[in-house]
Structure 1
Amino acid sequence: MTATAGKKELDKDWFDLILEARNLGISVDEIKEFLNKSS
């Protein structure tokens, strides 16, 4: 149960980050590319 709640929380954080990035004019593809490079 807590794992699901934790994942939901994480998803919300990612969602907020993506929304913020889009407000700055960064595309989702650019975000994915960045994440792939950094991992």
Structure 2
Amino acid sequence: MVDQDPAQTVTTHRLDGEQHMVRATMPLAWVLNPDPAEHDLG
């Protein structure tokens, strides 16, 4: 989900049983950062 705030905050969720729990929130610019190290993928 992307909020309509100035930072366009992205909220990621995870399914826990039958409920969606908030996993993380971050600015959209961070999500779109192409550096894999920023996402613990490197």
Q: Same fold (TM over 0.5)?
A: no
Q: Report the structure, 1 or 2, having the larger strand content.
A: 2
Give TM class, smaller chain.
under 0.3
- Report which structure shows greater RCO (CA 8 Å, sep ≥6): 2
TM-score (norm 2): 0.24
TM-score (norm 1): 0.24
Q: Report the structure, 1 or 2, having the larger helix content.
A: 1
